[in-house]
Structure 1
Amino acid sequence: MVAFDDAFRRQLHELFVWRRDVRRFRTDPLPDGTLERLIEIACLSPSVGLSQPWRFVVVDDAARRRAVIEDFKSCNADALKSYSGERAAKYAALKLSGLAEAPGHLAVFAEKDATIGSGLGRATMPETVDYSVVAAICSMWLAARAEGIGLGWVSILDPLRIHDILDVPKSWKFIGYLCVGYPEAECDRPELEQAKWESRRGPGEFTIRR
């Protein structure tokens, strides 16, 4: 087995501390092969029954990108209506997407009908297919941060509309749309915490023993 020393573990902890959900990107292009390398790392992630259900769509086409941005604007306007008063004002002031600036766009799906893995581990919890894809995204997120690259997960989108825009198989379930690029600035605190939308709480609030 490969041994990891204390210095590596400290650096790994710092990587977790400094990982951010980035919304503010520089427009500098990513080096050739960056997305492909990050996808390769994502594919090292664990998956239920070794099903490898992740499916990645690199979105380069300008018209498709514009359509995704328009869908975000529509969904974001609808989301704003669910808030009122001071909370609505705070929501309207948040920057919730880096779609216009980020040089890299990557859509991630879960293949629900894949025969790979022969259904192992999914009989009682079929949602573990989705969880496997989320784990792959998290691996990619950390790998990107280690290279000084930011990743932003855009969730304010209509999954059916994204299917149509990207013309993917119906059996693919939309999991997330990722903006990838160099962040405008580095920060060890989430942007939503800086904007006083929410504060990060300690593990004691979320842990019980039985």
Structure 2
Amino acid sequence: MDSSTGFPRPLPRGRTLCDDGLVRPSWASHDALLRSYYDTEWGMPVHDEAGVFERLVLEGFQAGLSWRTVLAKREAFRAAFEGFSPDAVAAFSTVDVERLTRDPGIIRNRRKIEAVISNAHATLAMRNTSEATDGPSHLGEFVWSYRPTHDPRPRSHNEVPTQLPESVALAADLKSRGFKFVGPTTLLALMAAIGIVNTDIVGTHRRPR
């Protein structure tokens, strides 16, 4: 906090008044990178396959870590995983896995790296299967098909859900298709990040009422 101005200024229910006069959830108020992410990207609709695959990769790496840690390494992840192209990542070999476990720019967790490659294969299989069954044509459409009828309306940080019935169902469906690191909490974070469901606290500048 800037002691000379009193900002950021904590407000009740997990919100913060920032020095630009905007109210943000506390998680997005004390760090410039998180503030920018919240203001310009979080919750904005992402429908395309590569965009949804990217967020799935990043949310998978976030498991057990802070989102700030993952976000700071995003460009390194983008370079390591060929711009998050599912086709390119599906072609990775064990040589690439070893290379990535030595890449200091990313989170060098072998299980998560291997999960990204598995998820790329599952993404391609979904694309092919969906075309054959006249269902959603790619991962983006598939994930969006689990959009809830109604958004939650948390009035405080304690009311922000960690799971929804739709994220539980989506997790089970993706796991049955070979996806990894796709638990219900991870998938609700993904759904919120790409605009499928709004979990923002009521009273922020992004969700004033």
Into which bin does the TM-score normalised by the smaller protein fall?
under 0.3
Q: TM-score, normalised by structure 1?
A: 0.24
Considering Cα pairs closer than 8 Å and 6+ residues apart, tell me whether 1 or 2 has the greater RCO.
Answer: 1
Q: Which has more strand, going by share of residues?
A: 1
TM-score (norm 2): 0.24
